[in-house]
DNA sequence: ATGGCGTCCGAGGGACGA
């Protein structure tokens, strides 16, 4: 079983690219962020045709998340992490014997804007919402809009104190981990330099100037089933790609215990010898 | 660098993203 998080930066604009990717990788669970449309506009049919159950929690123009699964989903919850948030940023469901929570954490805007305290408040409420789930088999994934440490920034000096990298954001991320969750990528690859987002501007993908902001947080109850995690940089390099890469957590199947990956590993990044 | 790019809404340029 595998679970992908993918900020697609408009599911309607990106539909052809996303379907192409789904046909290649065939994720069991696909967590989309920034679908940027209301539920009535979500392109459900092509995913239904591919065998996915589709649950979306959208809004007009901005934000919006969707949870797609080839396994049955139950107990679908929208409007996370609190009921009545005016922005559509969280959806969760039980699938394959665990909770999957799909988040689009606020960007935070300028530090002086009202968006920044909204982000911090959102993260504080997220922690409270996660607390009763943290002892169960749980994956919390999505676009966290937080680079947890300097090692997750292509230029830590440049980013120090900037939104996505402030101490206040990082401490709230750590507070979620303190519930008993692991940053799966970092636990599996303690010293790897790997990004999941690269700015469209200035060929930052070409020069690998990015941040690691898309994460899977895994509870201790689920950790024994974790096999691997992969970042699909190859798809990020295609024309008309999202500015985020898809990140996939590979889990051992609960029944049978056979450790096979149902998704082929993505091609390795082509490291340029000449810059 | 109030820069760079991309998407949305709507019909021009502003909001927003990270």
Q: Is A163 within 7 A of strand B by CB distance?
A: yes
Is residue A64 left, alpha or beta, with left meaning phi > 0 and alpha meaning psi from -120 to 50?
left
Give the rounded percent of residues in chain A with a pLDDT score beyond 70.
92
Nucleotide nearest to A200 (CA to C1'): B5
Q: Is the pLDDT of residue A123 over 90?
A: yes
Q: Is the pLDDT of residue A263 over 70?
A: no
- Which pLDDT band holds residue A154 (cuts at 50, 70, 90)? very high
Q: Is A200 within 7 A of strand B by CB distance?
A: yes
Q: Is the pLDDT of residue A272 over 60?
A: no
Mean pLDDT, residues A149-170:
97
pLDDT for res A243? 98
**3-class SS at A198?**
strand
Q: Is the pLDDT of residue A264 over 70?
A: no
Question: Which DSSP string do the residues of A19-32 spell out, in sequence order?
Answer: HHHHHHH--SEEEE
Q: Is the pLDDT of residue A13 over 90?
A: yes
- Which pLDDT band holds residue A140 (cuts at 50, 70, 90)? very high
Chain A residues 107-126, Cβ below 7 A from strand B: 107-110, 115
Nucleotide nearest to A201 (CA to C1'): B5
- Which pLDDT band holds residue A255 (cuts at 50, 70, 90)? low
Nucleotide nearest to A202 (CA to C1'): B4
Interatomic CA–C1' length for residue A55 and nucleotide B15, angstroms: 28
Nucleotides in chain B near protein beta carbons (<7 Å): 3-9, 16-18
pLDDT for res A257? 45
Cα A139-A145-A151 angle, rounded to 5 deg: 90
Interatomic CA–C1' length for residue A43 and nucleotide B11, angstroms: 26
Interatomic CA–C1' length for residue A157 and nucleotide B15, angstroms: 29
Cβ-defined contacts of A12-18 (< 8 Å, 24+): A12/A36, A12/A37, A12/A41, A12/A43, A14/A240, A14/A242, A15/A43, A15/A46, A16/A240, A17/A235, A17/A238, A17/A240, A17/A241, A17/A242
**CATH architecture of structural domain A2-254:** 4-Layer Sandwich (3.60)
pLDDT for res A274? 33
Interatomic CA–C1' length for residue A60 and nucleotide B13, angstroms: 20
> What is the CB neighbour count within 10 angstroms for residue A188?
16
Q: Find out whether A196 and A204 touch, Cβ atoms under 8 Å.
A: no
Give the rounded percent of residues in chain A with a pLDDT score beyond 90.
92
- What's the longest Cα–Cα distance across chain A? 53
Mean pLDDT, residues A120-138:
98
Q: pLDDT tens digit string along A183-227?
A: 999 999 999 999 999 999 999 999 999 999 999 999 999 999 999
Of A82, A77, A76, A71, the C-alpha closest to A127 is A82
Q: Is A106 within 7 A of strand B by CB distance?
A: yes
> What is the CB neighbour count within 10 angstroms for residue A67?
25
Interatomic CA–C1' length for residue A1 and nucleotide B15, angstroms: 39
**Which tokens sit at A26?**
């065939």
Q: Is the pLDDT of residue A267 over 50?
A: no
**Which tokens sit at A67?**
């949870």
Chain A residues 62-91, Cβ below 7 A from strand B: 62
pLDDT for res A254? 73
Q: Is the pLDDT of residue A268 over 60?
A: no
Residues A103, A90: Cα–Cα separation, whole Å: 5
Residues A141, A151: Cα–Cα separation, whole Å: 20
> What is the CB neighbour count within 10 angstroms for residue A18?
23
Q: Is A58 within 7 A of strand B by CB distance?
A: no
pLDDT for res A258? 41
């Amino acid at each position: 079983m595998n679970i992908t998080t993918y900020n697609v930066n408009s599911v309607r604009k990106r539909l052809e690219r996303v379907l192409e990717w789904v046909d290649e990788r065939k994720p069991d669970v696909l967590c989309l962020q920034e679908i940027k449309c209301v539920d009535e506009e979500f392109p459900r049919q092509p995913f239904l045709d591919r065998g996915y159950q589709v649950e979306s929690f959208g809004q007009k123009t901005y934000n919006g998340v969707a949870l797609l699964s080839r396994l049955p989903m139950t107990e679908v919850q929208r409007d996370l992490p609190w009921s009545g948030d005016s922005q559509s940023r969280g959806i969760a469901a039980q699938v394959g014997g665990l909770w999957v929570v799909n988040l689009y954490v606020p960007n935070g805007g300028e530090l002086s804007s009202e968006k920044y305290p909204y982000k911090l408040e959102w993260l504080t409420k997220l922690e409270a919402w996660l607390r009763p789930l943290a002892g169960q088999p749980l994956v919390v994934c999505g676009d966290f809009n937080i680079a947890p440490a300097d090692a997750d920034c292509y230029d830590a000096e440049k980013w120090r104190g900037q939104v996505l990298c402030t101490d206040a954001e990082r401490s709230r991320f750590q507070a979620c981990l303190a519930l008993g969750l692991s940053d799966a990528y970092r636990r599996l690859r303690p010293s790897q330099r790997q990004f999941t987002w690269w700015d469209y501007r200035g060929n930052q993908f070409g020069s690998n100037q990015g941040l690691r902001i898309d994460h899977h947080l895994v509870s201790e109850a689920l950790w024994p089933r974790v096999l691997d995690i992969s970042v699909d940089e190859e798809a990020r390099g295609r024309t008309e790609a999202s500015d985020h890469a898809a990140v996939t957590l590979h889990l051992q199947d609960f029944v049978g215990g056979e450790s096979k990956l149902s998704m082929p590993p993505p091609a390795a990044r082509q490291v340029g010898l000449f810059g």
